[in-house]
Amino acid sequence: MLEVKSLSFSYGDFSVEDVCFEVREGEILTLLGPNGSGKTTILKNIYGLLKPKKKCVFVDGKDFHSLSLKERAKLAGYVPQSHHPPFPYTVLDVVVMGLASQLGVFESPREEHYQKALEKLKLIGMERFKDKPYTQLSGGQLQLVLIARALVQEPKVLLLDEPTAHLDFKNQVKVLGIVKRLAKEESISAVMTLHDPNLASLYSDKIALVKEGRIRALGKPNEILKEEILEEVYGVPICILEFNGFRLILPKTEVV
């Protein structure tokens, strides 16, 4: 279980204040909010890539930030927004890098490690790309490879930074579907950041609405995705339609 207890951070005149939530095993919590609201900052603070003001992150009751990078990597996987490395490594080479925390500094991965990486590629349906240069993949495939790299760490906690950025409609649904499935099957506590309230509503167990570094509302999608809260967070008029039990969030625009 991941617990975040009053996380605060400041950098320049931007600050994150008093972020609290917990994510149980198999649950997905989505940090939802407009650009620049501090979603990614919160995610980086949880992992400790940015330093919060005091200890505030606990995994299974353990103070996460007191652990070394190596020990942290064994407990938690982080899926960053994809960017290209300088060399065209193969997909398998990239995925096997997730095992760095389990290898000594003088060790290179052996057959068993490549097998493990291959298993995770199979799990997300990417094994046929194993020998392809990572740099020639499409955005959706890249995202899946980065998820596979986090999975070989066999994490209890998975943090995903905008897993749907730059993806088309099909790939958004595919990637989030896989995240949802993995969280359940592997009993992972997942935290992700998203822009789109509809995707958040479909794939999250809990949503934290973030505005200006603060959580404005936290709860199950049906409880908190309400017109007045969303209007306050996004600053645009919004209407919500109910259809077959789904809630569709739409901006109220004047279409000419």
Q: Which is nearer to other proteins, 71 or 227 (CB)?
A: 71
Alpha-carbon distance of 123 to 108, in angstroms, equals: 24
CB of 43 to other proteins, least distance (A): 11
CB of 73 to other proteins, least distance (A): 3
Handedness of CA 217, 77, 82, 137 (dihedral sign): negative
Q: Which is nearer to other proteins, 93 or 231 (CB)?
A: 93
Q: Which is nearer to other proteins, 68 or 253 (CB)?
A: 68
Return the amino acid letter for 44.
K
CB of 159 to other proteins, least distance (A): 9
CB of 202 to other proteins, least distance (A): 27
C-beta of residue 2 within 8 angstroms of C-beta of residue 157: yes
Q: Which residues pair with 163 in a beta bridge?
A: none
Q: Which is nearer to other proteins, 35 or 108 (CB)?
A: 108
C-beta of residue 125 within 8 angstroms of C-beta of residue 78: no
Q: Which residues pair with 32 in a beta bridge?
A: 194, 209
Give the strand pairing for 14-23 and 2-11.
Answer: antiparallel
User: In the complex, which residues of this chain contact other proteins (CB under 8 A)?
Assistant: 47, 49, 68-74, 77-78, 80, 84-90, 93, 97-101, 103, 105-109, 135, 149, 153
